Chains A and B, each alone.
Chain A
Amino acid sequence: MEALFANLGLGFSVALSFQNLFYCLMGVLLGTLIGVLPGIGPVATIAMLLPVTFTLNPTSALIMLAGIYYGAQYGGSTTAILVNIPGESSSVVTCLDGYQMARQGRAGPALGIAAIGSFFAGCVATIIIALFAPPLAEVALKFGPAEYFSLMVLGLIAATVLAHGSLIKAIAMVILGLLLGLVGTDVNSGVARFSFGVSELSDGIGFVSVAMGVFGFAEIIANLEQKEHREVFTKKVSNLLPSLQDFKDTWASILRGTAIGSFLGISPGGGALLASFAAYTLEKKVSKNSANFGKGAIQGVAAPESANNAGAQTSFIPLLTLGIPSNPVMALMIGAMMIQGIAPGPQVMTERPQLFWGMIASMWVGNLMLVVLNLPMIGMWIKLLMVPYRILYPSILVFCCVGVYSLSNSPFDVMQTAAFGVVGYIWVKLECEPAPLILGFILGPLMEENLRRAMLLSRGDPLVFFQRPISLTMLLIAAFLLAVVLAPTVRKKREEAFVEA
C-alpha cells in the first residue's frame, strides 16, 4: 500500500508539471472536439497526430494521446444526446435514451449525468489501474513465448467474439490482418515477403496508412452516402445540474456501469465500445424502471456513459503490463511507444516508472479537466455541432493527407492510404468489421516471432502450448468463449443485442 502511494505521488509530480498539464489539456480538448464531431473518431485522430509526437518527449506524447481517447468518450455523449447521432461509436446506446430525454426538454440533466457518471467512472478506473497493473506486470515477467502466443490467441478470439455481426467473418478478418502484418522483411531470414520488389513495402505496410484508410477515409465516404438530417436541441439546454431525484435514481446505475466497464476494459478484446453495450443491456435487465427504457430513462444514459469511460481507461492495463493491445486505439498507442523507442511490455513499469505512473495520474487530472470543459463550456460544443458535415470533411481530408504524406515525405504513403480507403469501403459494404483486422495487423509479426521461439524451445512439439499451465488456461478460455458464442441460444441473443443497439 505504501509503495502504491509513493508511486502515485511520483505519478502526480510528473502529471502536474506545467508541461504535462498542458499536453493533457490539449489531448482532452482534441478528444472532446473529435468526440463531438460525428464522422471522425479517436483512431483516425491519433493516427493523424502520430507524426507530431515525434518531437515530444515520450511521457508527454502518451499523456496527450491517452487524453484523446477518453476525451472522445465525453464528447461523444453530447452529440448522441442532442442530435441522435453517435459522435463516437461507443455512444451509440446513449442515443436511445439520451435523445428521448432531450426531446422531453431534459437535455440538461442528461448531459449533466453523463459527465458526472463519466467522471466518477474515470476516478475509479484510475485507481483500478494503479492497483492491478503492478501485480499483473509481475506475472507477465514470467511469461515465455508459449504463454505470449496463447495470450495473443485469446486476445484475438475475444476480439472476434465481441465484434459486431458474423463470427466467422470476424475470424477471417483477424487472419487477413495477421497476413497483412507479415508483409515486409522477415526478421529471422531477412527475406522481404510479399513486397513485389517495391522498396517501400519491404519495411512493411504502414500502420498509419491502414488505420487512416480504413477508419478515416472509408468512414468519411460512408458518411457522405447518408443524407444528413439533424435536429439539434440547442435552445432547450438549460439547468445542467441533475435534480436530487435524478441522483437517487442513477447512483446505482453509475456504480454498475463503472464495474462492468472496468471489467470489460481489462479483458482482451474489450474497450469502451463493448462496455457501453453491455452496461445498457444489464441496466435494462436489472432496473426497476425497465419499461421506460428507450423512452428517456435517465438510467439508460448514466450506465453506458460511465461504462464507456471506465472501459476506455482500464483498457490501458493490458497495454501497459503485457504489451498487448485490446482494441485499435491501444494498437496505435503501441505504435506511438515504438516510435519513441520504448518496447511495450511489463518492463515499462520498472524501467520507466515516470512514464507509467505519470500517465496513470494524468488520467485522473484529465477527467477533472473534462468535467470543466464539458459542463460550463457546453454551449461552445453545441455551436460546433451546427456546422454541417459536408463543410467539415474537405478540411478533415486535407489534414489526413498531409499527415500521411509527412510520414515519409513521399506520395507512396498517400496512395497506400487511398488503397486502404477503397478496401475499407468494400469491407463496410460487405459487413466485415475492420477492428479485428487492425488488431491482427499489429499482432501478426509478434505472433509469428513467439510461435517460432516456442516451437524452437520445444523442438517442434506443438503440445508445449497445452503443457504449460498459464498457456493452457488461456487456450481453454479462448475455446470456451468460442463454444459459448456458437451455442445456438447465445448466438441468437448476441445477434439480438447488436440489432437492438
Chain B
Amino acid sequence: MKITNGKDFWAGVMFIAFGLGFLLLAIGPHRFLVELVAKVFDYKLEYGYAMGNAVRMGPAYFPTVLGGILAVLGAVVLLRAFVSKIEYPLRVFPFRLWYLPLGVGLGVVAFYTQPSRDAGVVLQIGHMLLAGLAVGLTFAAFGERSLWVVLLSVVIFGYALKPLGLVLAVFIMTIVSAIPGFTWTRKDFQMLPAYAAIGVLLTYLTLVVSPPIQRLVLAVFGAAGLNLPPVLALIFVEIGLGGVLAFFAGRYKWPQITAGQVTVLSFALAVFSVASFVHGLGLPMNVWPSIFE
C-alpha cells in the first residue's frame, strides 16, 4: 500500500479528526482524558451533553449523528488516497517541525503570564509581543511565508489595538503585511523612521481634516433631504479620493516603487478607511497610545 494522493490523505485525516472531535465532545470523552486535562491544565473540560431520544432530542443527538457521518466520510477520503489515480506528493505543506514546539511553548508561557489590567504599559506591550510571536511561530511551522506573515500581522493588530492605539497598530500591520509582496532593502529600513513620521503626520492630518469634510458632506446631503449615516459620508469621500489616487496611479511607473514607499502609501489609504470607521460608527477605539491620554 502506498499513498498516491497526498491531498486526499490529509483531507481524510482532517475530516476524521473533526468528526471524532465533535462526536467525543458531544457524548463525552473517556473519563481518563478529562481527569488528565484537569490535572495538567487545571481546566475542567466540559463533556457530554444529554442525548435524549428520537422524539425529544437532547443537545448531543444531532452533533453525534453528524460527527459520526463526518468521520466515516473522512475514512472514505483517506482510503481513496491509497487508490487514487491522481498523484500528489505527501508534502502538501512545507512543514517545519521545530517551529511548532517553540510556538506552543511560548504560547503556554504567554497564557500563564497574562498581566493584570492595571499593569504597566510596557509589561502589556511585552506580553502582546510574546503572544504574537508564539502564534506566528505556530503558523510558521506549516505554510508559506505569505500565510504566516499576513496572519501574524492580523494577530498583532488584534492585540495591539487597545494598548497602542489605532494609528500605531495600523502602521505595524501595514509594515508587517507588506513583507511578502516586496523585497526590503537596507535603505528601506533606514528610511523607516522617516516614513513612520510621515505616516503619523498624515494620520494626524486625516483625523483633523476628516470631521469637517464629513460635516460638509452631511450638510450637502442634508440640504438635499437625505439623512446620511456619517460612516457612509466618509466612505463616499474615500471612494472619491480613491478615484483621484487611481488617476495618478495610472501615470506612475509601478515596478520601480520601493517597499518603504508602498508602506506609506497603503498606510495613508488604510488610515483613511479606518478614520471613517472610527468617526462614522463612533467606535470606542484608542486612536493614539494610551500613555498619551
Give A residues with C-beta under 8 Å from B. 18-19, 22, 26, 29-30, 33, 51-52, 55-56, 166, 168-169, 171-172, 175-176, 178-179, 182, 186, 188-189, 191-197, 217, 220-221, 224-225, 380, 383-384, 386-395, 397-399, 401-403, 405-406, 409, 411, 414-415, 417-418, 421-422, 425-426, 429-432, 448, 451-452, 455-456, 459-460, 462
Contact = CB atoms under 8 A, between A and B. Distances in A.
B55 A172 contact: no
A415 B236 CA distance: 29
B70 A172 contact: yes
Most buried by B among A224, A392, A421: A224
Nearest to B230: A55
B270 A398 contact: yes
B277 A421 contact: no
Interface stretch (B101-109, B155-163, B188-196, B208-216): B155-163
A172 B15 contact: yes
A409 B53 contact: no
Contact of A395 (B70, B93, B273): B273
A346 B177 CA distance: 45
Closest 6 CB pairs of A and B: A390-B181, A414-B158, A460-B55, A398-B270, A224-B146, A411-B158
B130 interface: no
A426 to B, nearest CB: 7
A224 B154 contact: no
B170 A398 contact: yes
A224 B180 contact: yes
A391 B14 contact: no
A175 B257 CA distance: 47
A190 to B, nearest CB: 9
B229 A56 contact: yes
Given A191-B49, A394-B177, A406-B277, A411 B243 contact: no
Contacts of B1: none
Contact of B147 (A26, A425, A462): A425
Interface of B: 7-8, 10-11, 14-15, 18-19, 22, 25-26, 43-46, 49-50, 53-59, 62-63, 66-67, 69-70, 73-74, 76-77, 80, 92-93, 135, 139, 143-144, 146-147, 150-151, 153-155, 157-159, 161-162, 170, 173-174, 177-178, 180-182, 221, 224-229, 231-232, 235-236, 239, 243, 246-247, 249-250, 254, 257, 262-263, 265-267, 269-270, 273-274, 277, 280-281, 283-285
A18 B224 contact: yes
Contact of B54 (A55, A175, A455): A455
Contact of B243 (A51, A188, A380, A426): A380
B249 A387 contact: yes
Most buried by A among B67, B77, B147, B274: B147
A56 to B, nearest CB: 6
Given A386-B254, A411-B158, A196 B46 contact: yes
Given A386-B254, A402-B273, A411-B158, A430 B92 contact: yes
User: Chain A contact residues: over half helix, strand or loop, or mixed?
Assistant: helix
Contact of A18 (B158, B182, B225, B262): B225
Nearest to B92: A429
A391 B273 contact: no
Contacts of B53: 460
Given A175-B70, A384-B246, A456-B56, A402 B232 contact: no
B22 A29 contact: no
A31 to B, nearest CB: 12
Contacts of A425: 143, 147
A390 B281 contact: no
Contacts of B266: 391-392, 394-395, 398
A389 to B, nearest CB: 8
Contact of A431 (B11, B22, B144): B11
A391 B58 contact: no
Given A179-B66, A388-B254, A430-B14, A55 B277 contact: no
Contacts of A397: 150, 153-154, 173, 177
Contacts of B158: 401, 405, 411, 414-415, 418
Contact of A418 (B10, B155, B236, B269): B155
